Structure 1
Amino acid sequence: MSDSTPNPRTPAGPSNHASNRAPSGLNRRQLLTAGATAAGLGGLAWGAGSVYASNRQTARDTTDAQAPVRIGYLPITDATPLLVGHGNGYYADAGVTVAKPTMFRSWSSLSEAFVSGQVDVIHMLMPMALYMRYGLQADVRITAWNHTNGSALTTGPEVTSLADLAGRSIAIPAWWSVHNVVIQKMLRAGGLTPVMREAPSADRKTVTLLPMAPADMLPALNNGVIGGYTVADPFNAAAEAQKVGHIHRFTGDVWENHVCCVTMMRGELLRNRPEIAAGFMDGLVRAQAWSRQNRPEAAALLAANYLPQPPKVIQKALTRDASQHADTIKHPDWHGERIDFRPWPYESTTELLVRSIKETVVDAPTDFLAGLDPAQAHRELVDDSLVRGSIERVGGMGVFGMSSTERTEEFSA
């Protein structure tokens, strides 16, 4: 299949942001549990607003074959495949009716809407997916990787080495995030100790982790409140554009082609409407293939219809040139400086992530991790049956720069 030019369909724009009403699909006990979870995770808010704010849609009978599939997303380039699939009409081509994607302002509100059945498909931080399945016992599955790379550690101009962060604070988007896992490994490799809920100490070489809304990260860095932050684009590109900070290290240069967000579907959709789920996956994988080959066009589509950031910032995030970051890239052959779209969910990554999270400082309930076997977690959480067929129908693994369904994880802090 060849997709060298944008689909002529006119893409629909994003819907209104989620409201702050209590979710109609939860009873009081469930809502309190969700609220406690959000409070425990801390720092999940994407912008101002209450945690677990609901959108205006409500849960519905997922056995209705005519009901449109509902997408939830955050306004970041991580959402690219889900949005391109809608904007280019790929879901419609696969015979699937998809509602106008709904934008959420926080990971917590997106998570709540998904778990309670208000949206059917989302992109989600993979560590959060683990928490949903094992911490909340939610009926959800990872059906593909949404994207790889796409994040970085951005620091203030005065930070020239990792050692300069001793006695400073670093902002992270969420405790349950690959960002938190990677930055802690980097800090420890650099002789620093990540801490939480305490003031950082240069003498003790500690660095305090602060969950923070990404929209607040730029001003916090500019005002000297934090020494740096690790987050998805386009917030790193925005810091460069505003000359507030610089890229210290791309996370894709630390963990080769690491997963960040995964594509998640509700179990009800997979069980009750398997043909719709399969068609949706075909559209998503086609969107991934098109996006990695048509980056400027993808950026223009996102800027025009789905994301609120300036077009130049979105464009930079999707089309980064390694030559502009030669002094920070240690593994140029990894091409970790920009987001990529590789759908296959590698078991080796799930296993390494589970093992790594057990060694990561997380200010949240972690009881579910104690007896969690990494291989079993992959088998129970990941359903690769749909994406396997979709990859073949779009041309095979080579379309995405992949050669096998197995790989060896490369991590170099």
Structure 2
Amino acid sequence: MAEKPAIRIGYLKITDHLILGVTDLKLKKGMEKFDHCTLNPVVKNGWNEVADALATKSLDGALILAPTAMDLFKSGVDLKLLLFAHKAGSILVKSKRAHIEKIEDFAGKTVLIPYQLSVHNMLFYKLLSEKGLKPGRATDKGIDVTLEVVAPFQMPEALEYDEEGEIGGFIVAEPFGSLVIAKGYGEEFYLSKDLWPKHPCCVFVVRNEIIQKHPEAVQEICNSFVRSGLAIDAQPSPASVIGGDFLSQDKDVIFKVLTDPPDRILTGELFPIIKDLDTIQKYMMDEMKIMTSLIDLEKFVDTGFAKTAGAK
């Protein structure tokens, strides 16, 4: 019998990627068994690392920002989107030192985002533009708010050491927002689910070459992810312990993220919604001008694996 392939899946240490942590633990403890592959989670520090590793084929798949995945597909990386990794789950935090009371107070400040091609950037852009404020990079002309791309895990430290309050805050995946709030440097300004209920953010993509070569392996990973997502939603307490370990974070902070409020992050509905992905790419092209063309989502998204897995 041929040796089972090891499927390398990239991720960041964020709550959005907890389905991978739960599946990994179930396999290690023998609570689940894969017949067609072994799972090899590969941690990365930032989104550029994940994107580059997919492009150079050093990863077989990844949990990655939806717009970044779309951009990779557009640039010729042969990927398929198979599942959402979660819905909602991010937070806009204001720095206590920046004296932010309303959206307009972000004017003249720097705000940290995890990546340009991210739903975080889109949600914050929409929030500002509705108040007539223009965000952009420090080199752009006529901007009101400076956006700076910083890896999620570096954001708490950036806020902590910004004694002058030049950083207004950041918008990012949890648990980094809740971490800063717990340490006393920031306050919740908005939860992303209140800006766009049940919005997509990270998605599970696999290189098409791997799907063609090992469809049964890809299916059993999708099956497990869907089960893990349902388990996280149903049992946040044990999930937060697993999350604390897998993400190297405080389990109490993870528990708060999973439960307060209950719909802060949703992992039980992973079926890919093409209409929502289309909303993202059209907004990024028409309003933000950071995408130059649209992709054919019917070619990019393969819902067959999600259907077989029973994803909701």
Same fold flag (TM > 0.5): yes
2 CA distance for matches of 1:145 and 1:276?
A: 18
Deviation at 1:285, TM superposition (A): 0.9
Identical columns (%): 26
Q: Supply the AA of the counterpart residue of 2:102.
A: S
Q: Supply the AA of the counterpart residue of 1:390.
A: A
2:22 is aligned to 84
1:147-166 to 2 correspondence within 5 Å? 147-157=86-96, 158-166=99-107
Q: Supply the AA of the counterpart residue of 1:111.
A: A
CA-to-aligned-CA distance 1:19-78 (integer Å, 9 cap, x gap): xxxxxxxxxxxxxxxxxxxxxxxxxxxxxxxxxxxxxxxxxxxxx762122222111111
2 CA distance for matches of 1:69 and 1:252?
A: 32
Question: Of residues 379, 383, 397 in structure 1, which corresponds to 2:298?
Answer: 379
Change in Cα spacing, 1:214 to 1:277, as seen in structure 2 (3 Å) is closer
Question: Of residues 359, 362, 367 in structure 1, which corresponds to 2:286?
Answer: 359
1 CA distance for matches of 2:214 and 2:107?
A: 52
> In the alignment, is residue 315 of structure 1 matched against residue 242 of structure 2?
no
- With normalisation by structure 1, the TM-score equals 0.69
CA-to-aligned-CA distance 1:210-266 (integer Å, 9 cap, x gap): 111223322333412310100000001101110111110111111110011000111
> In the alignment, is residue 216 of structure 1 matched against residue 154 of structure 2?
yes
- With normalisation by structure 2, the TM-score equals 0.90
Deviation at 1:194, TM superposition (A): 1.3
Higher Cα Rg: structure 1 or 2?
Answer: 1
CA-to-aligned-CA distance 1:179-227 (integer Å, 9 cap, x gap): 0111000101122111222489xxx881111111223322333412310
Deviation at 1:142, TM superposition (A): 0.4
Change in Cα spacing, 1:351 to 1:361, as seen in structure 2 (3 Å) is closer
1:177 is aligned to 118
1:55-94 to 2 correspondence within 5 Å? 66-89=4-27, 92-94=32-34
Contact 2:95 2:159 in 1 (8 A): yes
Higher relative contact order (CA 8 A, sep 6+): 2
2 CA distance for matches of 1:95 and 1:174?
A: 36
1:391 is aligned to 310
1:346 is aligned to 273
1:140 is aligned to 79
Q: Supply the AA of the counterpart residue of 2:250.
A: P
Contact 1:94 1:283 in 2 (8 A): no
2:56 is aligned to 116
Q: How many matched pairs? A: 304
1 CA distance for matches of 2:3 and 2:303?
A: 23
Change in Cα spacing, 1:285 to 1:277, as seen in structure 2 (3 Å) is same
3-state SS of paired residue (2:21)? helix
1 CA distance for matches of 2:154 and 2:215?
A: 40
3-state SS of paired residue (2:171)? strand
- Structure with greater strand percent: 2
1 CA distance for matches of 2:46 and 2:139?
A: 25
Change in Cα spacing, 1:276 to 1:91, as seen in structure 2 (3 Å) is farther
> In the alignment, is residue 281 of structure 1 matched against residue 197 of structure 2?
no
Deviation at 1:103, TM superposition (A): 1.2
1:61 is aligned to none
Deviation at 1:267, TM superposition (A): 0.4
Deviation at 1:144, TM superposition (A): 0.8
2 CA distance for matches of 1:382 and 1:91?
A: 30
- Consecutive unaligned residues of structure 2, counting only runs of 5 or more, are none
CA-based RMSD of the aligned residues comes to: 2.2
- Consecutive unaligned residues of structure 1, counting only runs of 5 or more, are 1-63, 323-334, 398-413
Contact 2:19 2:267 in 1 (8 A): no
Q: Supply the AA of the counterpart residue of 2:244.
A: A
User: Structure 1: which 4+ aligned runs deviate by more than 3 Å?
Assistant: 90-94, 338-341, 359-362
Deviation at 1:289, TM superposition (A): 1.1
1:264 is aligned to 205
Deviation at 1:347, TM superposition (A): 1.5
Q: Supply the AA of the counterpart residue of 1:349.
A: D
Q: Supply the AA of the counterpart residue of 2:167.
A: I
CA-to-aligned-CA distance 1:143-181 (integer Å, 9 cap, x gap): 011111110110023212111111111110000100011
